[in-house]
Structure 1
């Protein structure tokens, strides 16, 4: 059995820690680690990056770009969990169910999707590509996430100020996820993105409301649902619910999970619909997706080490 060396640059952060948990005990991978005194040392990081078969970047955008610039060989392959390269030329977007597993398997540079975009793109991309929803439409995306998606500072804020019930943000528009959301759905108008944070450690709901009667040549809700079922048929990670419950819940007790659940809700007359995605922002929205991409790039079963519920 081949053992691949992996260096997690930014291993002390939330995403890095959860990636390491998913790789723990797996003989296919050997982690290259730096102690506390060396993990921010540029020379030590550069050595680890160039020694590794795979590097997973769990860093702010500028630091991720700096890490890529340290690579001095044509062997080291990169998975970037930051937003630095999600629309960059020469990088493969790491959403295998949408982009295709083969592209990721062959790539040396893979950009991990953002958590919110995973829900938005997972819902819209197959439907827009199939012509069932228009490319030229001012889509809106409402979403709520657990506070772990904001990193250590936001985690500390929510855990110290327990009176916060709801935090809306991105109110000036221009959120860094928007270019990714537009590019990988193929829509021509940047969506209005309305993210929020709730007092739960993990979990995420992403919703796209649809005025179907106002759209030209839009499919009916039942056809949209059937198209999503077909698009993700056979996927061990992405599922499309057959149920239309009266509510969708996020629970504060949610355990780590690496799946993505999609739903289509509709008015009785079919004139309006709500597309919804439920996921773990630290699972398929971050660390789980990185491990899934790592498995694919290493030629291993894509769900190895994942938490599928």
Structure 2
């Protein structure tokens, strides 16, 4: 069988550059990108996407939809890193650990022709909430609030250039945004976490390049009788027991932590989940730490690509 051709459309953006860097030394694929003079030529882009085996789209939403609409070759498979298709039922959600086993999300991704990469924040939120909702430990109508801080690369190329390019300015120490409470990731979180009600999502940027800490506070009095921090932790630990890239901190380790560092997993495709509980006041804090450019973007895309290549071969 010939070596699969992987075409990256939009390889000059933050996610595209990271994906290219992760794939450039691979010998099991032929990596293809367009020359600078061809990147905005719709005919050349259409030719390229129809000539590849797997296309990875690192484009704005409208451009990603346009790229998909240009596909006439039924053999072309797609990984879309934009948010254009994340709530579409005809696209496979590219979070392999969401449902475990070969009959779960991993198998679905491996056999899919259209895979939508999760958003960075939803990776953490869905990773924490969905197992608990499915197990009946967190009611699907619980008034969920999600707080997250990301490095400024979460703004994409514009954020990196503003703080690292010519004429760079220092990033503010901390800035909350999305104050209209209408962040585009919220419907994705609600759908894939299995929530009946829209969660309140409050994102922020910190004065660092990359990395995320996402937290979800819970009040035990609003959960089913008998559910406590240990119950929630055991559920998450069971769900991710066989996962390579998602792990749950043991309770004794999380109880010893005094702070969470958003940058601790930078450069990896890993995500660490934690459960912190205050027995006296019956409060629990769920946490997710990961790299917004790793498990939150390019690392996840490469993980999905590897799964899709298992069918390709």
| TM-score class normalised by the smaller sequence | over 0.9
Q: Distance in 1 between matches of 2:86 and 2:216?
A: 21
For residues 153 and 255 of structure 1, the distance between their equivalents in structure 2, rounded to whole angstroms, comes to: 20
Is 1:39 aligned to residue 39 of structure 2?
Answer: yes
Kept in 1, the 8 Å contact 2:247–2:271? The answer is: yes
RMSD: 1.5
Paired position in structure 2 for 1:230: 238
What are the ranges of 5 or more consecutive residues in structure 1 without an aligned counterpart?
301-309
Q: Which residue of 1 aligns with 2:248?
A: 240
The range that moved more, 63-72 or 157-166, is: 157-166
Report the 3-state secondary structure (helix = DSSP H, G, I; strand = E; otherwise coil) of the residue aligned with 2:36.
coil
Instruction: Quote the Cα distance in structure 1 between the aligned partners of 2:37 and 2:225.
Output: 60
Which moved further from structure 2: 145-154 or 254-263?
254-263
Between the two proteins, the alignment pairs up a number of residues equal to 299
Task: Output the CA distance in 1 between the equivalents of 2:265 and 2:90.
Answer: 36
Q: Are residue 114 (structure 1) and residue 119 (structure 2) matched?
A: yes
Q: CA deviation at 1:2?
A: 4.8
Shift of 1:181: 0.1
Give the structure 2 partner of residue 189 of structure 1: 197
Deviation, 1:254, is 6.5
8 A Cα contact 2:262 2:290, kept in partner: no
1:203-214 → structure 2 map (5 Å cutoff): 203-214=211-222
Alignment check: 8 A CA contact 1:146 1:202 kept: yes
Deviates more, 1:147-156 or 1:47-56: 147-156
User: Once the two structures are superposed, what CA deviation does each residue of 1:173-220 show, in whole Å capped at 9, x if it has no partner?
Assistant: 111000000000111111110000011111000100001113344721
8 A Cα contact 1:132 1:218, kept in partner: no
Cα offset, 1:22, TM superposition = 1.0
Conserved 8 A contact 1:146-1:204? yes
TM-score (norm 1): 0.93
2:282 alignment counterpart: 271
Q: Is the 8 A contact 1:132 1:217 kept in 2?
A: no
Q: Which residue does 1:77 correspond to in 2?
A: 77
Q: Is the 8 A contact 2:11 2:17 kept in 1?
A: yes
Match in the other structure for 1:67: 67
Alignment map for 1:292-303 (pairs within 5 Å): 292-299=303-310
CA contact (8 A) 1:9 1:59 kept: yes
Moved more, 157-166 or 61-70: 157-166
Residues 24, 136 of structure 1: alpha-carbon distance in 2 compared, 3 angstrom cutoff: same
Q: Quickly say closer, same or farther: Cα 1:186–1:127, change in 2 above 3 A.
A: same
Give the secondary-structure state (helix, strand or coil) at the position aligned to 1:117. helix
Change in Cα spacing, 1:33 to 1:218, as seen in structure 2 (3 Å) is farther
How far off is 1:155 after superposition? 1.9
Residue segments in structure 2 that go unaligned for 5+ positions in a row: 100-104
SS at match of 2:193: coil
Deviation per residue, 1:4-23 (Å, 9 max, x gap): 10111101111001111111
2:265·2:290 contact (CA, 8 Å) conserved in 1?
Answer: no
Q: Which residue of 2 aligns with 1:167?
A: 175
**SS of corresponding position for 1:261:** strand
Moved more, 159-168 or 132-141: 159-168
